[in-house]
Amino acid sequence: MRKFLLIFSLFSVALFLSACSPKHGEILLAKFDKGNITLGEFEKAYAKNSGGFDAAKNDTLEQYQKFLDLYVNFRLKIKDAYDRGYDKNPDLLAELNDYKKKVGVSYLLDKELVEPAIKKLYEQRKTELRVSHIMIRPDSTGDEAAKTKANAVLKRILAGESFESLVNEFSADQYSKAKGGDIYYITAGLIVPEFEDAAYKTEVGKVYPEVVKTRFGYHIIKVTEKRERIPAIRASHILLTFANEAGTTDTLAAFKKIDSIKTALKNGADFAKLAQEFSKDPGSAKNGGDLDFFSRRVMVKEFDEAAFNLKVGEVSDIVRTNYGYHLIKQTDRKPYPSFDEEKDELKKIYKQSRYNTDYDTLLTFYRNKYKFKLNEVGIEKIHAANDSIKVGPDYFESKLKTDFGKIEVFRLNGEVFSLDTLMDKILTQAEFMNKVITREVLKEAANKISGDLALELETLAMDSRYPEYAELMEEYKNGIFIFKLQEEEIWNKIKIDDAKLEEHFNKTKEKYNWNDRVAFTEIFSRKDSIIQVCKDLLKQGTNFDSLAAKYTERAGMKSKGGKYEMMDANSSQISKEAYKLANVGDVSSSIVNANGFSLLKLDRKEAAHPKSFEEAKAEVSGSFQEEESKRLENAYNESLHAKYKPEINKEELSKVFKSE
């Protein structure tokens, strides 16, 4: 992010609900030429920069005074920016509009798409529905025939025929067909949107009055139950499988055993102890049958239905599933979470389920608002003239551009977008690259680009609808102005040459020193045996550097032959060990370090000493610029105070955050 954001962050003002009474908030802390700083404004600014009102209330008067000095300087700079005409500067306004488009689109989508959708989803998910359906898939007769058939079946149901009997006759969903069309409980956000929307609009016992189309086919939907949703329950169970000790199926023996356990429970036996003793579920038996928390539809249907119909502490009747006979005890349940607790999960569900559809609908709305219109005639001319030119750099050298580049493809908000303009905008978009420029590609690209542009146009008019967004844009505009002022009054005025740097160095040379430094070569190996081989070879006169080039294994150092250039002697364990060596060429004993062993050879060492001007030049330059920046900043602030003559009432700071 640009430097001015760092400068401005100290002063940015967010929208807070002020605890001040109007009278308290209007107390003047400072006034200057056509400008005031009230206690209310100061409190908002201070709270923004100190972590909120509660934290700000605990700060000292001295801290408030320092901040007021900074804030007055900031306000004077903004006043100066307007006096210089920055608010009419086309370059600055263009930068602001560019930022508005980038940030505004995300803000707009969040406010007008995501937030309303997840709030609706949150409310819907408080309820779960039990639903049945008849599904009719398109077959060889085609989609229209399937729709006609579904409508005919719906008409018979609405006329009074049995839903369940028609399920058996017509439904293509083999899973639910045998159960009268029952697809069990559903929750908003977990099924296809078209089906979900219809189900949530339907009363219990009623059939949705229209055929619903999804990607699976045509559906006739009946809601059989609505109930308060329990997000998750915790349960324990005792399972007896149908197999007896001989490994053969004996459902009667299993039932008699589970029935005797049920009787024991009624007589006060401990559920957990019985689960540990008798349950055939090895995963839960050792934990007293505990299955931890689970949500709806995680368990098989028979188990799920029995478990969710219990109250906490209640034990079920005997439940049969494909796994055997169960006794189930509900031990806990989770309450429906708050919106803030669920917000991230709701966003995730929404993005996966219906965001793309809603996004396309919103784009269509804004395209229409800004009078989007395709030039069908122009598109057909381009299509007819092209048989091979693709989206990409080749277009800009092609005859297609020469002959048709200026032809209108679409217009938006009164602005004409030609083929050239469209190609410029989609040149870097992977979805269009290397596609032949046909009518279909042109229409797809026009829809995509016009949608993006329509959103951007809408962001330019959002200030009046969203005060927080207007505040954000005001902060960014002030940041642009501050950056421009700093550039003109400070950074552009800093002149650097060697003479000034050397003068600065001579005044501050005590700041520039080398620490103890060392250069060395290392042989590193993960195996002590390799290090021992190298030590033996060194005793026989083999050159250390050649051994390092051959044997060292440290990542990133193999290509350097294990050589470390001059570095701070205290920068690592091995540099410390290398500095302990007395003379150039000395070799260390074997050193144990992280993940292996090392031998070190001293190549060079220097004790701590002052840096020369040339050695310190980069640091001197940084120090000089920092000093000059402070000097010029102070001079600029003094000039602003002289120009605008602010009157500051620091005694009123005793009332900060003190209103009743």
Among the ranges given (404-418, 518-532, 594-608, 646-660), the one the predictor scored with the smallest mean pLDDT:
646-660
Q: How confident is the model at residue 557 (pLDDT cuts 50, 70, 90)?
A: very high
Residue 314, pLDDT score = 97
pLDDT at 3: 40
pLDDT of 12 over the 80 cut: no
Residue from 100, 118, 113, 117 nearest 458 by CA:
100
Higher pLDDT, 206 or 140: 206
Segment 595-619 shows an average pLDDT of 96
Q: Is the pLDDT of residue 87 over 60?
A: yes
What count of Cα atoms within 13 Å lies in the side-chain half-sphere of residue 4? 17
The answer to whether residue 7 scores a pLDDT higher than 90 is no
Tokens standing for residue 221: 């939907």
Mean pLDDT of 321-345: 96
Yes or no: say if 164 and 177 are a contact pair by the CB < 8 Å rule: no
Single out the residue of 141, 104, 22 nearest to residue 463, CA to CA.
104
How do residues 293-324 score in pLDDT, each as one tens digit? 999 999 999 999 999 999 999 999 999 999 99
* CATH code, 232-334: 3.10.50.40
Average pLDDT value for residue range 248-277: 95
Q: Is the pLDDT of residue 10 over 60?
A: no
Identity (one letter) of the amino acid at 524? Answer: F
What's the mean per-residue pLDDT of the chain? 93
CA-nearest of 412, 409, 429 to 420 is 409
The whole-number pLDDT of residue 5 equals 37
Could you tell me which residues come within 8 angstroms of residue 140 by beta carbon, excluding any fewer than 6 positions away?
A: none
What pLDDT is recorded for position 660?
A: 53
pLDDT tens digits, 166-196:
999 999 999 999 999 999 999 999 999 999 9
Is the model's pTM score more than 0.85?
Answer: no
Local confidence band at 274 (pLDDT 50, 70, 90 cut-offs)? very high
Q: Do domains 127-228 and 232-334 have the same CATH topology?
A: yes
> Which fold, 127-228?
Chitinase A; domain 3 (3.10.50)
In the prediction, which pLDDT does 595 show? 87
Q: What is the model's pLDDT at position 54? A: 87
Confidence of residue 19 (pLDDT cuts 50, 70, 90): very low
Q: What's the average model confidence in pLDDT over 360-364?
A: 95
Q: Can you give the pLDDT at residue 64?
A: 92
Answer yes or no: is pLDDT of 492 > 80.
yes
Question: What percent of the chain is modeled with pLDDT above 90?
Answer: 88
CA-to-CA dists, residue 243 to 54, 239, 247, 277, angstroms: 66, 12, 5, 17
**Domain boundaries of the chain, sorted by first residue:** 3-78, 127-228, 232-334, 513-610
To the question of domain 513-610 being in CATH 3.90.1150.10, the answer is: no
pLDDT tens figures, 570-587: 999 999 999 999 999 999
